[in-house]
Structure 1
Amino acid sequence: MQAPDDLTPAEAREYYLDDLRADSSDHTIRSYGYRLTQFVEWCEEHDVEQVSEISGWTIDQFKRDRQSMGDEPVTVKGKMVAVKQLLDYCARIDAVDEDLPEKVDIPSLSRAEETSDTKLAAEDAQALLEYYRNDPGVYATNHHALLEVLWNTGARLSGIRTLDLEDYYPDRQFLDFKHRPETGTGLKNDEDGERPVSIPETVCDVLDAYIERDRWEKRDDHGRQPLFSCRQGRPSASTIRSWCYLATQPCLHQECPHGETRPTCEYPHRNKASQCPSSRSPHQVRTGSITWHRDRGIPMEVTAERVNASPDVIERHYDKASAVERMEKRRRKYVQDLDFGDNSEQ
């Protein structure tokens, strides 16, 4: 039998994720798996071959490395929380000293640092959507259709993946998000995440054209027909994420803001798209969409229902309008009500 302190970081990661599966959602396991993969890869690059070799110095150097690589404070905090929980598990099975998890420094963040301010800005979304809508060569491609749905619904990536062809109601102009974990597509909030979301006629026009011209007629491994499909059937989360990165590159409709030329730049390639400084992930499109919903005067309770998030979570993590933007877009229209006017009592 293998001694626990002989486990490699990669083996410890897999044991820990297996231990999580009994009480955690697939989304949580994937999230921790991704964060810990970076820690495992870092250990391998620095010749940490067994978990028993991990020390306080090792942990500190990993944290400093992530900070020097430009990870935002909230990202660093998330990774260090994952490392501590991995080491808590390792201590429980006697793979590391019981005091090692206490040496993990979890950064304390201000409210402003608790979440990333990076989002797809409304003006950038408008420019991109105008480009897609007015260029026949890219109209109703999977990139275009995905961006339309992400921006207009504020849906999470998991919500996009769960959509089937039958969940789109063109005559009534809405998408119906359903929780189907038994066939591989669950929503983050389980049944509480189920909801119909209305979409504008322009988005329906795009989806109709996408279904007719660009959508793959494929079924997934469970016989379902995904709304967004690829050659293999239902696209993976990483595939949808890549589509989003490619769909949001500004050089599609303007000169590159980073001085590159599209024919020679490496970022328009799928495996490099996420490295483009101006491309945006589905989460960043969601953040921009929610901010835009609020700027357009959509009531908080309506926005919360559409995007399946509580008002408190929206205020704290998603609504990224600056103080000046809130004044200009949300409060200035009420200023006229503060004027006495000609007919007011003196």
Structure 2
Amino acid sequence: MRSVVVLLAAALLLVPGTVRGPLPDSMAAPAWSAGDLWLYRFNSTFEGSVFLNGTLRAEVLGVSNVMVRGVAQDVFTVDTGGTGTLEGIFPTPLGNVPAKGTWNLTGEQLFATGSRKIVKTLIDIAAVGQVGVLNLPFNLLWTNSTSNLVVRDEWRYPVLVGTSGNVTLNASMAEHVFLQFGTNPPVNTSTVAVTEVAVSVTLASRSNASVPAGRFETYVVRESWPDGASERFDYAPAAGNNARTQTFNSTGAEVTRTELISYRYRAGESPDPFAMILIGAVVAIAVTVALTVLWISRRRRRRDREYTPPSLRDPPTSGP
């Protein structure tokens, strides 16, 4: 019986634990898979006059091979959506007037599976509301499509803490804006451009971030742009994405912040405790059955030795 207890204890040790150690010295790429999703709290200001608040959602749809700017590559397709409110001062032909409304975002982003650089973005934002003083409804549609070619990439996973590098993108952008107040003629603007952008990236340190989804150990990644703007990403390996993102303008003022509300990241999920109990129980039962069979077999052999005549129990050996 003591052997049964020892083997049962050994079987339970086969169940993996869920304790996490400190973050390592290098940051690995997240192990995304279809169904991973993240929900963020979002707030932003545009030129200090229009304020947006709401939620953003991103979900990994899967991996496919696509052609971007003449280059075939494997990408993660990430579906993007969001909704919220806006409030601020809008420029009109009659001057600046206060306005309130709601916005809705739909889109898609393609991330190269190896480098995790964004190679294509499609974003549509629709906003409707009311211009206060004029008592006029407004309708805003903003569409942006950007495709990137990675010209230079000094930022490749795994990345050691303290590493700095430059990433140069050749970006092809098409943007369209539609704005209408009441029944007045709409204002349409379109912009098409191809430009090369160099971004400086640094894995500055390890830290912690407390957000609505909880407290996470994070890597702090900083990006600096040619116009003086910058971004800080608090990347949480346990969530497979950023716990917090902050964007700053050229004066250092924060203009955008996202904070993780909830998420589903399969690679970071702890084993199901109930499933582990079932596995442990199955292993324990299997061990018990095996020991029982062994015990019965030994008793049978011992009984056979006691009651079987020696002539049948021990056949004679052949001799010369």
Instruction: Identify the structure with the greater helix proportion.
Output: 1
Structure label with greater radius of gyration: 2
TM-score where L is the length of structure 2: 0.23
**Normalising to structure 1: TM-score of the pair?**
0.22
